[in-house]
Amino acid sequence: MGPMRHFSVPSVRAQETIEKLRQNGWISNDYRIHPGSEENILIPLNFDAPNDIPDDFVGEIISTTPLPITRSKSWQEIFEEEVGGLGLSELDEGWARGHEIVGDVLIQPAQRFSGNIPQNIDSLIRAKMQAHPRIRVLAFDYGVQGEYRVRDLEIAAVRTDRIILGNELESLSSELLHTDTTIRESGLHIKLNPAKVYFSSKLETERLETIRILQDFKKELNRPLAICDPYCGVGPALAHICAQKDLSSTILANDLNPNCIPYIFKNIPPLQSIQPPKNIDGLMQITPKVLVGNMDAQKIPSDNAQLGQWDVLLVNLPHMSLNHLPSLIPLLKTETPSLVRGWSILPHDEVEDLPNRLISISGGRTTTHNIKIKVRKQYAPSHDMVGYWMRLCGAPTGI
Protein backbone atom coordinates (compact mmCIF):
# COMPACT_ATOMS: atom_id res chain seq x y z
CA MET A 1 0.00 0.00 0.00
CA GLY A 2 1.46 3.36 -1.03
CA PRO A 3 1.05 6.66 0.83
CA MET A 4 -2.47 7.91 1.42
CA ARG A 5 -4.11 11.04 2.80
CA HIS A 6 -4.08 11.56 6.53
CA PHE A 7 -5.30 14.54 8.51
CA SER A 8 -2.46 15.71 10.74
CA VAL A 9 -3.72 17.38 13.91
CA PRO A 10 -1.87 18.62 17.05
CA SER A 11 -2.25 15.98 19.77
CA VAL A 12 -4.18 18.33 22.07
CA ARG A 13 -6.88 18.80 19.41
CA ALA A 14 -6.95 15.14 18.31
CA GLN A 15 -10.04 13.96 20.19
CA GLU A 16 -12.38 16.71 19.04
CA THR A 17 -11.03 16.49 15.43
CA ILE A 18 -11.55 12.71 15.30
CA GLU A 19 -15.15 13.22 16.43
CA LYS A 20 -15.80 15.93 13.82
CA LEU A 21 -14.21 13.90 11.02
CA ARG A 22 -16.22 10.86 12.08
CA GLN A 23 -19.48 12.84 12.08
CA ASN A 24 -18.69 13.79 8.47
CA GLY A 25 -17.94 10.14 7.59
CA TRP A 26 -14.38 10.98 6.41
CA ILE A 27 -12.25 8.53 8.47
CA SER A 28 -11.02 5.30 6.84
CA ASN A 29 -12.05 2.19 8.80
CA ASP A 30 -9.28 0.09 7.27
CA TYR A 31 -6.30 1.93 8.74
CA ARG A 32 -5.14 3.05 12.16
CA ILE A 33 -5.13 6.50 13.73
CA HIS A 34 -1.55 6.81 14.96
CA PRO A 35 0.95 9.33 16.37
CA GLY A 36 3.14 11.29 13.92
CA SER A 37 6.71 12.34 14.62
CA GLU A 38 5.99 15.81 16.05
CA GLU A 39 3.39 15.83 18.82
CA ASN A 40 0.75 15.28 16.14
CA ILE A 41 -1.80 12.58 15.45
CA LEU A 42 -2.37 11.20 11.94
CA ILE A 43 -5.97 10.30 11.04
CA PRO A 44 -6.43 8.20 7.84
CA LEU A 45 -8.99 9.73 5.45
CA ASN A 46 -11.30 7.81 3.14
CA PHE A 47 -12.34 8.63 -0.44
CA ASP A 48 -15.31 10.73 0.75
CA ALA A 49 -13.09 13.26 2.51
CA PRO A 50 -12.60 16.42 0.37
CA ASN A 51 -9.14 17.77 -0.41
CA ASP A 52 -10.20 21.10 1.09
CA ILE A 53 -11.04 20.37 4.68
CA PRO A 54 -13.16 23.24 6.08
CA ASP A 55 -11.29 26.04 7.89
CA ASP A 56 -12.85 25.26 11.26
CA PHE A 57 -10.66 22.08 11.41
CA VAL A 58 -7.24 22.71 12.98
CA GLY A 59 -4.57 20.79 11.05
CA GLU A 60 -3.61 19.85 7.50
CA ILE A 61 -3.82 16.99 5.02
CA ILE A 62 -0.53 15.15 4.47
CA SER A 63 0.37 12.06 2.49
CA THR A 64 1.96 9.19 4.43
CA THR A 65 2.09 5.39 4.62
CA PRO A 66 -1.06 4.02 6.28
CA LEU A 67 -0.96 1.44 9.10
CA PRO A 68 -3.50 -1.32 8.46
CA ILE A 69 -5.86 -2.28 11.28
CA THR A 70 -4.75 -5.74 12.35
CA ARG A 71 -8.03 -7.28 13.42
CA SER A 72 -7.43 -10.96 13.09
CA LYS A 73 -9.98 -12.72 10.94
CA SER A 74 -11.44 -16.06 11.95
CA TRP A 75 -10.49 -19.08 9.84
CA GLN A 76 -14.09 -19.25 8.63
CA GLU A 77 -13.90 -15.66 7.29
CA ILE A 78 -10.58 -16.34 5.55
CA PHE A 79 -11.90 -19.60 4.12
CA GLU A 80 -15.08 -18.02 2.79
CA GLU A 81 -13.14 -15.15 1.22
CA GLU A 82 -11.02 -17.69 -0.64
CA VAL A 83 -13.64 -20.16 -1.82
CA GLY A 84 -16.90 -18.24 -1.57
CA GLY A 85 -19.78 -18.47 0.88
CA LEU A 86 -20.87 -22.01 0.10
CA GLY A 87 -17.44 -23.52 0.66
CA LEU A 88 -17.96 -24.37 4.32
CA SER A 89 -21.25 -26.15 3.79
CA GLU A 90 -19.66 -28.22 1.02
CA LEU A 91 -17.03 -29.52 3.40
CA ASP A 92 -17.76 -32.75 5.14
CA GLU A 93 -18.94 -32.12 8.70
CA GLY A 94 -15.83 -33.82 10.09
CA TRP A 95 -13.45 -31.38 8.43
CA ALA A 96 -15.29 -28.27 9.49
CA ARG A 97 -15.33 -29.51 13.10
CA GLY A 98 -13.24 -27.87 15.79
CA HIS A 99 -9.55 -28.45 16.18
CA GLU A 100 -7.28 -28.71 19.21
CA ILE A 101 -4.20 -26.57 19.67
CA VAL A 102 -1.27 -28.23 21.48
CA GLY A 103 1.61 -25.76 21.75
CA ASP A 104 2.37 -24.62 18.20
CA VAL A 105 0.68 -27.66 16.62
CA LEU A 106 -2.91 -27.43 15.38
CA ILE A 107 -4.54 -30.85 15.42
CA GLN A 108 -7.36 -31.23 12.93
CA PRO A 109 -9.70 -34.23 13.31
CA ALA A 110 -9.78 -35.91 9.92
CA GLN A 111 -10.67 -39.06 8.04
CA ARG A 112 -8.29 -40.75 5.64
CA PHE A 113 -9.16 -40.10 2.00
CA SER A 114 -10.26 -43.18 0.16
CA GLY A 115 -9.36 -41.95 -3.32
CA ASN A 116 -11.24 -38.66 -3.62
CA ILE A 117 -9.66 -35.77 -1.77
CA PRO A 118 -12.49 -33.53 -0.57
CA GLN A 119 -12.64 -30.18 -2.32
CA ASN A 120 -11.28 -27.10 -0.59
CA ILE A 121 -9.14 -28.96 1.94
CA ASP A 122 -6.10 -26.88 0.97
CA SER A 123 -8.12 -23.69 1.49
CA LEU A 124 -9.23 -24.96 4.89
CA ILE A 125 -5.62 -25.65 5.90
CA ARG A 126 -4.43 -22.25 4.70
CA ALA A 127 -7.33 -20.49 6.46
CA LYS A 128 -6.58 -22.20 9.79
CA MET A 129 -2.85 -21.45 9.52
CA GLN A 130 -3.51 -17.80 8.63
CA ALA A 131 -6.03 -17.34 11.44
CA HIS A 132 -3.53 -18.78 13.97
CA PRO A 133 -0.21 -17.11 13.17
CA ARG A 134 1.59 -18.81 16.06
CA ILE A 135 0.86 -22.28 14.70
CA ARG A 136 3.96 -23.88 13.15
CA VAL A 137 2.47 -27.20 12.06
CA LEU A 138 -1.04 -28.31 11.16
CA ALA A 139 -1.55 -32.06 11.46
CA PHE A 140 -4.48 -34.26 10.48
CA ASP A 141 -5.59 -36.51 13.33
CA TYR A 142 -6.94 -39.89 12.26
CA GLY A 143 -7.77 -40.92 15.82
CA VAL A 144 -6.23 -42.35 18.98
CA GLN A 145 -4.49 -45.70 18.62
CA GLY A 146 -3.32 -48.58 20.78
CA GLU A 147 -2.76 -48.89 24.52
CA TYR A 148 -0.51 -45.81 24.60
CA ARG A 149 -3.52 -43.71 23.43
CA VAL A 150 -1.36 -41.88 20.87
CA ARG A 151 -2.90 -39.97 17.99
CA ASP A 152 -2.26 -41.05 14.42
CA LEU A 153 -1.05 -37.72 12.97
CA GLU A 154 -0.10 -36.69 9.45
CA ILE A 155 1.55 -33.33 8.87
CA ALA A 156 -0.57 -31.33 6.43
CA ALA A 157 1.13 -27.92 6.56
CA VAL A 158 4.26 -26.29 7.95
CA ARG A 159 4.95 -22.59 8.39
CA THR A 160 8.44 -21.43 7.44
CA ASP A 161 8.54 -17.90 6.02
CA ARG A 162 5.27 -18.92 4.35
CA ILE A 163 2.70 -21.72 4.58
CA ILE A 164 3.88 -24.92 2.89
CA LEU A 165 1.44 -27.73 2.10
CA GLY A 166 0.73 -30.53 -0.34
CA ASN A 167 3.57 -32.01 -2.43
CA GLU A 168 5.88 -29.17 -1.45
CA LEU A 169 6.13 -30.66 2.06
CA GLU A 170 8.34 -33.41 0.59
CA SER A 171 11.08 -30.84 0.00
CA LEU A 172 11.27 -29.96 3.72
CA SER A 173 13.93 -31.39 6.03
CA SER A 174 13.04 -33.56 9.02
CA GLU A 175 14.01 -30.62 11.24
CA LEU A 176 10.82 -28.92 10.07
CA LEU A 177 8.63 -31.98 9.52
CA HIS A 178 7.90 -32.91 13.13
CA THR A 179 5.28 -32.22 15.79
CA ASP A 180 7.57 -31.74 18.81
CA THR A 181 6.21 -28.84 20.81
CA THR A 182 6.02 -27.07 24.17
CA ILE A 183 2.83 -26.05 25.89
CA ARG A 184 2.57 -23.40 28.56
CA GLU A 185 0.32 -24.34 31.46
CA SER A 186 0.00 -22.23 34.62
CA GLY A 187 3.55 -20.92 34.24
CA LEU A 188 5.03 -24.36 33.44
CA HIS A 189 6.56 -25.44 30.15
CA ILE A 190 5.57 -28.98 29.19
CA LYS A 191 7.38 -30.60 26.27
CA LEU A 192 5.85 -33.40 24.22
CA ASN A 193 5.22 -34.76 20.80
CA PRO A 194 1.53 -35.55 20.26
CA ALA A 195 2.48 -38.05 17.54
CA LYS A 196 4.48 -40.15 20.05
CA VAL A 197 2.79 -39.73 23.44
CA TYR A 198 -0.63 -39.08 24.93
CA PHE A 199 -1.38 -35.53 25.97
CA SER A 200 -4.54 -33.52 26.53
CA SER A 201 -4.41 -29.81 27.30
CA LYS A 202 -8.07 -30.09 28.30
CA LEU A 203 -6.96 -31.71 31.57
CA GLU A 204 -5.30 -28.54 32.90
CA THR A 205 -8.22 -27.69 35.21
CA GLU A 206 -8.18 -31.25 36.55
CA ARG A 207 -4.47 -30.91 37.32
CA LEU A 208 -5.12 -27.68 39.21
CA GLU A 209 -7.90 -29.37 41.19
CA THR A 210 -5.47 -32.19 42.03
CA ILE A 211 -2.99 -29.67 43.43
CA ARG A 212 -5.67 -28.00 45.58
CA ILE A 213 -6.83 -31.27 47.11
CA LEU A 214 -3.27 -32.50 47.68
CA GLN A 215 -2.33 -29.25 49.41
CA ASP A 216 -5.17 -29.85 51.88
CA PHE A 217 -4.16 -33.49 52.32
CA LYS A 218 -0.57 -32.46 53.01
CA LYS A 219 -1.83 -30.07 55.72
CA GLU A 220 -3.87 -32.87 57.24
CA LEU A 221 -0.93 -35.31 57.32
CA ASN A 222 1.39 -32.46 58.33
CA ARG A 223 4.16 -33.66 56.03
CA PRO A 224 5.00 -33.74 52.30
CA LEU A 225 3.33 -36.55 50.36
CA ALA A 226 4.68 -39.65 48.61
CA ILE A 227 2.93 -39.47 45.23
CA CYS A 228 2.74 -42.32 42.72
CA ASP A 229 1.68 -41.59 39.10
CA PRO A 230 1.82 -45.00 37.34
CA TYR A 231 0.26 -43.70 34.08
CA CYS A 232 2.07 -40.36 34.05
CA GLY A 233 2.45 -39.84 30.28
CA VAL A 234 4.95 -36.99 29.84
CA GLY A 235 4.43 -36.06 33.49
CA PRO A 236 2.13 -33.01 33.43
CA ALA A 237 0.51 -33.81 36.81
CA LEU A 238 3.89 -34.43 38.48
CA ALA A 239 5.31 -31.26 36.87
CA HIS A 240 2.57 -29.27 38.63
CA ILE A 241 3.09 -31.20 41.87
CA CYS A 242 6.88 -30.71 41.90
CA ALA A 243 6.45 -27.00 41.16
CA GLN A 244 4.70 -26.68 44.57
CA LYS A 245 7.19 -26.16 47.37
CA ASP A 246 7.36 -29.18 49.69
CA LEU A 247 4.12 -30.74 48.43
CA SER A 248 5.86 -34.05 47.65
CA SER A 249 8.49 -36.01 49.54
CA THR A 250 9.01 -38.74 46.92
CA ILE A 251 7.46 -39.33 43.50
CA LEU A 252 7.11 -42.29 41.16
CA ALA A 253 6.72 -41.42 37.46
CA ASN A 254 5.89 -44.44 35.32
CA ASP A 255 4.47 -44.99 31.85
CA LEU A 256 4.45 -48.06 29.64
CA ASN A 257 5.14 -45.99 26.50
CA PRO A 258 8.97 -45.71 26.19
CA ASN A 259 8.55 -42.48 24.20
CA CYS A 260 7.33 -40.78 27.39
CA ILE A 261 10.63 -41.26 29.23
CA PRO A 262 12.73 -38.48 27.58
CA TYR A 263 9.83 -36.05 28.11
CA ILE A 264 9.45 -37.05 31.77
CA PHE A 265 13.07 -35.95 32.22
CA LYS A 266 12.38 -32.66 30.41
CA ASN A 267 9.17 -31.85 32.27
CA ILE A 268 9.55 -32.87 35.91
CA PRO A 269 11.64 -30.20 37.67
CA PRO A 270 13.95 -32.45 39.79
CA LEU A 271 14.88 -34.43 36.64
CA GLN A 272 15.51 -31.56 34.26
CA SER A 273 19.26 -31.40 34.87
CA ILE A 274 19.71 -35.18 34.53
CA GLN A 275 20.47 -37.04 31.29
CA PRO A 276 17.80 -39.78 30.82
CA PRO A 277 19.25 -43.31 30.88
CA LYS A 278 19.22 -45.02 27.44
CA ASN A 279 17.06 -47.80 28.75
CA ILE A 280 14.87 -48.04 31.82
CA ASP A 281 14.15 -51.61 32.76
CA GLY A 282 11.35 -51.69 35.33
CA LEU A 283 11.71 -48.98 37.98
CA MET A 284 14.87 -46.93 38.38
CA GLN A 285 15.83 -44.75 41.36
CA ILE A 286 17.03 -41.59 39.62
CA THR A 287 17.47 -39.38 42.71
CA PRO A 288 16.78 -40.22 46.38
CA LYS A 289 13.32 -38.68 45.87
CA VAL A 290 12.43 -39.69 42.31
CA LEU A 291 11.72 -43.12 40.81
CA VAL A 292 11.09 -43.41 37.08
CA GLY A 293 9.54 -46.46 35.46
CA ASN A 294 8.78 -47.80 32.00
CA MET A 295 6.64 -50.79 32.85
CA ASP A 296 3.12 -52.12 33.05
CA ALA A 297 1.72 -50.30 36.10
CA GLN A 298 0.01 -53.47 37.31
CA LYS A 299 3.43 -55.04 37.85
CA ILE A 300 4.79 -52.24 40.08
CA PRO A 301 3.49 -53.99 43.24
CA SER A 302 5.59 -57.05 42.40
CA ASP A 303 8.53 -54.90 43.61
CA ASN A 304 8.08 -55.44 47.37
CA ALA A 305 9.91 -52.19 48.11
CA GLN A 306 6.94 -50.27 46.70
CA LEU A 307 4.26 -51.91 48.85
CA GLY A 308 2.67 -49.60 51.43
CA GLN A 309 4.96 -46.71 50.40
CA TRP A 310 2.63 -44.18 48.80
CA ASP A 311 0.17 -41.60 50.17
CA VAL A 312 -1.38 -40.73 46.81
CA LEU A 313 -2.12 -42.77 43.72
CA LEU A 314 -3.08 -41.12 40.41
CA VAL A 315 -4.95 -43.53 38.14
CA ASN A 316 -5.29 -41.83 34.79
CA LEU A 317 -6.18 -44.73 32.53
CA PRO A 318 -9.87 -44.03 31.99
CA HIS A 319 -10.60 -47.04 29.77
CA MET A 320 -9.12 -49.54 32.22
CA SER A 321 -8.90 -47.70 35.54
CA LEU A 322 -11.22 -50.00 37.51
CA ASN A 323 -9.60 -53.15 36.12
CA HIS A 324 -6.12 -51.99 37.12
CA LEU A 325 -6.99 -50.45 40.48
CA PRO A 326 -7.17 -53.69 42.52
CA SER A 327 -3.52 -54.50 41.76
CA LEU A 328 -2.40 -50.96 42.64
CA ILE A 329 -4.13 -50.55 46.04
CA PRO A 330 -1.34 -52.46 47.90
CA LEU A 331 1.02 -49.61 46.97
CA LEU A 332 -0.80 -47.31 49.42
CA LYS A 333 0.27 -46.76 53.02
CA THR A 334 -1.92 -48.41 55.62
CA GLU A 335 -0.78 -46.68 58.81
CA THR A 336 -2.06 -43.25 57.67
CA PRO A 337 -4.94 -42.27 55.35
CA SER A 338 -4.24 -42.29 51.63
CA LEU A 339 -5.90 -40.87 48.50
CA VAL A 340 -6.71 -42.26 45.07
CA ARG A 341 -7.39 -39.78 42.27
CA GLY A 342 -8.88 -41.62 39.30
CA TRP A 343 -10.76 -41.26 36.05
CA SER A 344 -13.00 -43.83 34.47
CA ILE A 345 -15.16 -44.19 31.37
CA LEU A 346 -18.39 -45.89 32.32
CA PRO A 347 -21.75 -46.66 30.72
CA HIS A 348 -24.30 -44.09 32.01
CA ASP A 349 -26.17 -46.73 33.99
CA GLU A 350 -23.02 -47.87 35.87
CA VAL A 351 -22.07 -44.42 37.21
CA GLU A 352 -24.41 -44.63 40.19
CA ASP A 353 -22.87 -47.90 41.33
CA LEU A 354 -19.27 -46.60 41.12
CA PRO A 355 -18.93 -45.91 44.90
CA ASN A 356 -19.89 -49.52 45.68
CA ARG A 357 -17.34 -50.82 43.19
CA LEU A 358 -14.65 -48.60 44.70
CA ILE A 359 -15.50 -49.74 48.24
CA SER A 360 -15.17 -53.34 47.10
CA ILE A 361 -11.86 -52.65 45.26
CA SER A 362 -10.46 -50.88 48.34
CA GLY A 363 -10.93 -54.00 50.42
CA GLY A 364 -13.30 -52.19 52.75
CA ARG A 365 -10.87 -49.35 53.52
CA THR A 366 -13.28 -46.63 52.42
CA THR A 367 -16.97 -45.65 52.70
CA THR A 368 -19.37 -43.76 50.41
CA HIS A 369 -18.73 -40.75 52.65
CA ASN A 370 -15.03 -40.86 51.61
CA ILE A 371 -15.69 -41.06 47.88
CA LYS A 372 -16.36 -38.05 45.65
CA ILE A 373 -17.55 -38.55 42.10
CA LYS A 374 -17.96 -35.99 39.34
CA VAL A 375 -19.29 -36.77 35.89
CA ARG A 376 -16.86 -34.75 33.74
CA LYS A 377 -18.60 -35.04 30.40
CA GLN A 378 -20.56 -37.29 28.16
CA TYR A 379 -17.82 -39.33 26.50
CA ALA A 380 -19.94 -41.18 23.96
CA PRO A 381 -23.70 -41.54 23.44
CA SER A 382 -23.81 -44.32 26.03
CA HIS A 383 -20.76 -43.53 28.23
CA ASP A 384 -19.59 -40.84 30.66
CA MET A 385 -16.10 -39.76 31.70
CA VAL A 386 -16.13 -39.78 35.49
CA GLY A 387 -13.51 -38.34 37.84
CA TYR A 388 -13.30 -39.71 41.38
CA TRP A 389 -11.46 -39.15 44.63
CA MET A 390 -11.32 -41.99 47.14
CA ARG A 391 -9.88 -41.72 50.62
CA LEU A 392 -8.69 -44.94 52.24
CA CYS A 393 -8.03 -45.57 55.90
CA GLY A 394 -6.33 -48.45 57.68
CA ALA A 395 -5.54 -51.96 56.49
CA PRO A 396 -7.82 -54.00 54.20
CA THR A 397 -10.60 -55.89 55.92
CA GLY A 398 -11.07 -58.29 53.03
CA ILE A 399 -14.59 -57.09 52.12
Looking at 166-295, list the stretches that DSSP marks H as alpha helix, in order from N- to C-terminal side. Answer: 204-221, 236-242, 260-267
Measured CA to CA, the distance from residue 204 to residue 224 in angstroms comes to 23
Of 7, 26, 217, 231, the one binding ligand SAM (CB under 6 A) is 231
With CB under 6 A as the rule, give the number of residues binding ligand SAM. Answer: 21
What are the CA-CA distances from residue 248 to residues 129, 215, 245, 265, 395 (Å)? 41, 10, 8, 17, 23
Q: Work out whether 59 is an interface residue with ligand SAM (CB under 6 A).
A: no
Measured CA to CA, the distance from residue 236 to residue 117 in angstroms comes to 37
Select the span of 22-30, 196-204, 357-365, 369-377 touching ligand SAM (CB under 6 A): 196-204
Min dist CB 204 to ligand SAM, Å, is 10
What are the CA-CA distances from residue 166 to residues 154, 155, 170, 316 (Å)? 12, 10, 8, 37
Nearer to ligand SAM, 45 or 329 (CB): 329
Of 44, 66, 103, 233, the one binding ligand SAM (CB under 6 A) is 233
Min dist CB 258 to ligand SAM, Å, is 9
Measured CA to CA, the distance from residue 219 to residue 135 in angstroms comes to 42
Of 256, 280, 345, 373, the one binding ligand SAM (CB under 6 A) is 256
Strand 248-254, strand 290-294: pairing: parallel
Min dist CB 298 to ligand SAM, Å, is 6
What are the CA-CA distances from residue 49 to residues 17, 25, 54 (Å)? 13, 8, 11
Q: Work out whether 230 is an interface residue with ligand SAM (CB under 6 A).
A: yes
Of 87, 103, 194, 236, the one binding ligand SAM (CB under 6 A) is 236
Select the span of 248-256, 267-275, 326-334, 363-371 touching ligand SAM (CB under 6 A): 248-256
Q: How far is CA 201 from the centre of its chain?
A: 2
How long, in residues, is the chain? 399
Min dist CB 373 to ligand SAM, Å, is 18
Helix, strand or coil for residue 248? strand
Q: How far is CA 374 from the centre of its chain?
A: 21
Q: Work out whether 199 is an interface residue with ligand SAM (CB under 6 A).
A: yes
CB 106 within 8 A of CB 157: no
Min dist CB 248 to ligand SAM, Å, is 16
CB 201 within 8 A of CB 183: yes
Q: Work out whether 317 is an interface residue with ligand SAM (CB under 6 A).
A: yes
Nearer to ligand SAM, 14 or 192 (CB): 192
> CB within 8 A of 281, min separation 6: which ones?
294
Q: Indicate the angle between helix axes 121-131 and 75-83, nearest 10 degrees.
A: 140
Select the span of 102-110, 232-240, 357-365, 367-375 touching ligand SAM (CB under 6 A): 232-240
Of 13, 132, 149, 383, the one binding ligand SAM (CB under 6 A) is 149
Nearer to ligand SAM, 157 or 297 (CB): 297
Q: Work out whether 57 is an interface residue with ligand SAM (CB under 6 A).
A: no
Q: Work out whether 203 is an interface residue with ligand SAM (CB under 6 A).
A: yes
Nearer to ligand SAM, 79 or 199 (CB): 199
User: Could you give the strand order of the β-sheet that contains 100-102, starting from the edge strand earlier in sequence?
Assistant: 100-102, 105-109, 137-145, 150-159, 163-165
Min dist CB 326 to ligand SAM, Å, is 14
Q: Work out whether 297 is an interface residue with ligand SAM (CB under 6 A).
A: yes
Min dist CB 146 to ligand SAM, Å, is 9
**CA-derived radius of gyration, the chain:** 29
- The residues of the shown chain that bind ligand SAM, judged by CB under 6 A, are 147-149, 198-199, 203, 230-233, 236-237, 254-257, 260, 296-297, 316-317
